Chains A and B, each alone.
Chain A
């Protein structure tokens, strides 16, 4: 199946610093990528939809100036958590849309990034 690589898998940073997370589709071109946040024992919460070459679409309640998304190529999207605070500590997961069948698309997920802000 298609592979989505997410890096880093784990990061610890100091409060007030910025952290960049990369999401790459390794064997297919992804015009659309998604960024999710997941709290313990909770489902995936969609943060934003990233489209190659255009501005990301953020879900209600997600601060676009805090969570900067760049989708500069068909295989790479980045999420930068700016001025991170302890409450930003969470599991961040990206996914990329690929063809599942003639009409449907499947979301292939990265391995996730565990962010801890101290």
Chain B
């Protein structure tokens, strides 16, 4: 079993839809949870990070962490075609190398 599991998709949604992206993990020592967005042939860029459990909101993006279930989510409201990208979850125990999921490909069509 991989430490971080993420469905690769692709996930195809119409413009304006609410998108839900998820990851599960097995290492209970993870404390920091991050979401990266990667456009085709570009390096990943950090979208959001969350410490421990709870929610964090930034504009159209909301990150949720449920440590009891070892499950994290990223919600995108009012999705736009420009949101089409691969979204990678990552998690770490602090000052350690982040462990990445394989990424979910999101396609938002007009």
B78 CB–A CB distance under 8 Å:
no
CB contact list, B12-63 vs A, under 8 A: 31-32, 34, 36, 41-46, 49, 51
Q: Are B43 and A104 interface neighbours, CB within 8 A?
A: no
Chain B residue total in the interface (Cβ 8 A): 26
Question: Inside 8 A of B81's CB, which chain A residues have their CB?
Answer: none
Task: Specify the main secondary structure of chain A where it touches its partner.
Answer: strand
Provide the bound-state CA to CA distance between A96 and B103, in Å: 20
Q: How far is the CB of B19 from chain A (nearest CB, A)?
A: 19
Using a Cβ–Cβ cut-off of 8 Å, how many residues does chain A contribute to the interface with B?
27
B46 neighbours in A (Cβ, 8 Å): 1, 106-108
CA of A43 to CA of B89 in the docked complex: distance in angstroms? 10
The reply to whether B32 and A104 form a contact with Cβ atoms under 8 Å apart is yes
A-B CB pair tally, cutoff 8 Å = 59
A44 engages B100 (CB within 8 Å): yes
In the complex, what distance in Å separates the CA atom of A6 from the CA atom of B92? 24
- Distance from B90 Cβ to chain A, minimum over Cβ atoms (Å): 8
Q: Does A91 contact B (CB under 8 A)?
A: yes
Across the interface, which residues of A come within 8 angstroms of B1, CB to CB? none
Determine whether the beta carbon of A111 is less than 8 Å from that of B103.
no
Cβ A42 vs Cβ B92 within 8 A: no
Please tell me if the beta carbons of B97 and A34 are within 8 angstroms of each other in the complex: yes
Taken together as a complex, chains A and B put the C-alpha atoms of A1 and B45 apart, in Å, by 10
- B84 contacts chain A at the CB level, 8 A cutoff: no
- Measured between C-beta atoms, what is the minimum distance from B79 to chain A in Å? 21
Please, which residues of chain A bring their CB within 8 A of the CB of B102? 42-43
A103 to B51, CA, bound (A): 10
Question: Which residues from chain B contact A74 at a C-beta distance below 8 Å?
Answer: none
A 89-118 binary contact with B (CB < 8 Å = 1; else 0) = 001010101001101111111111010000
10 A–B contact pairs at CB < 8 A? A41-B105, A42-B102, A43-B100, A43-B101, A43-B103, A93-B44, A104-B49, A104-B95, A106-B46, A112-B42
Instruction: List A residues at the B interface (Cβ < 8 Å).
Output: 1, 4, 6, 34, 41-44, 46, 49, 91, 93, 95, 97, 100-101, 103-112, 114
